[in-house]
Each structure stands twice: as C-alpha cells, then as structure tokens.
C-alpha cells in the first residue's frame, strides 16, 4: 500500500508539473501576446491573465504541495502507524512514528534503487523494511544480527558470535546481556509478561517474555548447514527480532532482511493514540479514546 501511494505521488507530480511546464512554454506566451494586443493605454495590467485555464490553474496550485510531500516522504521522513504488538514495549499499537528514509541510503521512490550511500544499520536499530515474503507489506523489527554474525536463540535467550575478521582471534558465541525489570505491566493471554532490559552493543532497550508460551524451534526457519535455532547471517542481509519475543513473526521464521528491502530507521514517535473501546460503545473502534502524550519522543 505504501509503495502504491509513492507511485501515485510520483504520477501526480509528473502530470501537474508537465501541465505547468507546457503551459509556461507554449500557451502562456500566446495568451500574453493576445492580451497585450487587446490592451489600450488606459487598460494596463499585462502581468495578469484572466483567461488561465482551469486545468492549468489547478496544476499550478497543487504541484508545489505534491512535490514537497514527495520529496519529504521519499527522501527525508515518512510516517508509519504501528498495527500490532510485536514491538512492545518499545512501540505500542496506536503509535505513529517517523522513519528516517535517508539513514541507509537515498533511494528513488519508484524502483527503490539506491542512488547515494549514506550508511548502514547498526546492531540495535529499529528498522522498517519490505517484508521479504511479500514486499508490498512494511514490517518493523529490531536489528540483532549483522552480516557475517552467527545468531542462536535458545531458552528465550539471544546468543551472538560476531563476524570473524581475524582468523587468529575470532570472537566467541556470547549471550546478549539481560536484566529483569518487572512483571505485570503488560498482560497477554491472561498472563503477566516479564520485562527485561537487553543490551545490544551500546543500545539498551526493553523486551517482553511470555512466562508460559515458548516458540518451538521446529517452527523456526531452517538454514542449510546450521541447527534449527542457529542462523549465519549472509553478507548484505540482517537478522531482525521483535521486542515482544513470544509474539513476533520475525527472522526466526522467514529468514533474513536483504539490504535492498530496507526502508529506513524508526527515530521518533510523533503521536500515540489509545484504542480501548468496549464492544457496547456506540462509537467505532477506530476512533481513539485518548492520547498518550508521555510516549512522544525518540525511539530506543
């Protein structure tokens, strides 16, 4: 859907800009010449054109607005809405976020070819990307594994062995540090979720664990040459997980995110709505019940 909107913006920008350009080069000079010929010394005002066609006038009015939106959305920042709880507690349903489009390269809005290299994801980044199994869908997860890493998920614990750059001194597989915070703030399936702080390099963020639900390794994506709960991240790809670890369909199930699928880095929550209506409420469920002002700010 997001890609369709980009195509519509590009098409409207080209059409309205072309109408304005053709009129400026071909028809506007002719109208001005006719106006000057019909004018008298008492009736000046040659700069005005009362005969401006409706289509041209409309194109001149909306072209700057559409072009501005296209540039802003395609190359700078794009708004997204969080539709599910897979990134709780970092992101909640009803959060509206801004995604920095130029964080991982400037891409054209139609074919998504990288035009300018501006950077690459870092471990711990929250990224929006095109779902590898259906690129028409946008997903949001956290980068856990970098190209060349070995990632193991065992007993609800993430283990990482970074890419070996020195064969004489290769890093070992180590558990990602965790510290327990609380239990009970979030409830799922009538169970109080456990909240931990996880440290991915310099990035500290909170995750949730379900005390009873355990995603079985037999359901995981199986990579040739590895165990069922082990993945070696290919070059040019990333391993991503949801922060709500027992309620997220992520790289454990469908594999890796190619670099070309990256949309951008989630950097801020600009508004957050509550949707807590009861079934007996008259108003429809999509109308917010409140605004969570305390959630507005940066994403970690």
Active-site annotation holds for 86:
yes
Long-range CB contact pairs, 12-18, < 8 A, 24+ = 12/62, 12/66, 13/63, 13/66, 13/67, 13/70, 15/59, 16/58, 16/59, 16/62, 16/63, 16/66, 17/59, 17/63, 17/67
Could you tell me if 178 and 197 are in contact, meaning their C-beta atoms sit under 8 angstroms apart? yes
Q: Which residue has the tokens 């709500």?
A: 244
Report d(CA 276, CA 237) in Å as an integer: 38
In 3D, which of 66, 82, 95, 85 has the Cα closest to residue 7? 66
**Alpha carbon of residue 95 to chain centroid:** 12
Active-site annotation holds for 141:
yes
Could you tell me if 297 and 268 are in contact, meaning their C-beta atoms sit under 8 angstroms apart? yes
Angle, CA of 50, 52 and 55, to the nearest 5°:
150
Supply 50's token pair. Answer: 């009362």
Could you count the other beta carbons within 10 Å of the beta carbon of residue 185? 14
Task: Give start and end residues of each alpha helix (H) in the chain.
Answer: 2-22, 28-38, 54-71, 251-254
Given the residues 107, 130, 141, 265, select the one marked as catalytic.
141
Given the residues 86, 248, 251, 272, select the one marked as catalytic.
86
* Phi, psi (degrees; rounded to nearest 5) at 101: -75, -25
Q: Which residue has the tokens 């779902």?
A: 131
Could you tell me if 221 and 227 are in contact, meaning their C-beta atoms sit under 8 angstroms apart? no
Just list the catalytic residues. Answer: 86, 141
């Amino acid at each position: 859907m997001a890609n369709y909107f980009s195509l519509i913006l590009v098409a409207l920008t080209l059409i309205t800009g072309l109408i304005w350009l053709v009129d400026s080069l071909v028809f506007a000079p002719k109208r001005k010449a006719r106006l000057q010929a019909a004018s008298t010394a008492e009736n000046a005002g040659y700069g005005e054109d009362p005969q401006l066609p409706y289509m041209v006038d409309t194109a001149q009015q909306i072209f700057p607005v559409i072009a501005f939106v296209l540039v802003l959305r395609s190359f700078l920042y794009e708004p997204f809405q969080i539709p599910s709880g897979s990134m709780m507690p970092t992101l909640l349903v009803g959060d509206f976020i801004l995604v920095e489009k130029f964080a991982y390269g400037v891409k054209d809005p139609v074919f998504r070819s990288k035009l300018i290299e501006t950077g690459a994801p870092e471990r711990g980044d929250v990224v929006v990307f095109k779902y590898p199994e259906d690129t028409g869908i946008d997903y949001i997860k956290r980068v856990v594994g970098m190209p060349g890493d070995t990632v193991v998920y065992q007993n609800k614990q993430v283990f990482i062995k970074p890419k070996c750059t020195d064969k004489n001194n290769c890093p070992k597989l180590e558990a990602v540090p965790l510290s327990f915070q609380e239990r009970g703030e979030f409830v799922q399936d009538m169970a109080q979720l456990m909240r931990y702080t996880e440290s991915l390099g310099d990035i500290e963020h909170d995750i949730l664990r379900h005390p009873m639900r355990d995603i079985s390794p037999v359901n995981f994506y199986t990579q040739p040459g590895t165990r069922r709960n082990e993945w070696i991240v290919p070059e040019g790809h990333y391993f991503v997980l949801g922060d709500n670890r027992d309620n997220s369909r992520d790289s454990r199930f469908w594999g890796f995110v190619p670099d070309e699928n990256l949309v951008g880095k989630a950097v801020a929550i600009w508004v957050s709505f509550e949707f807590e209506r009861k079934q007996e409420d008259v108003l429809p469920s999509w109308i917010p019940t409140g605004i969570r002002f305390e959630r507005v700010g940066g994403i970690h």
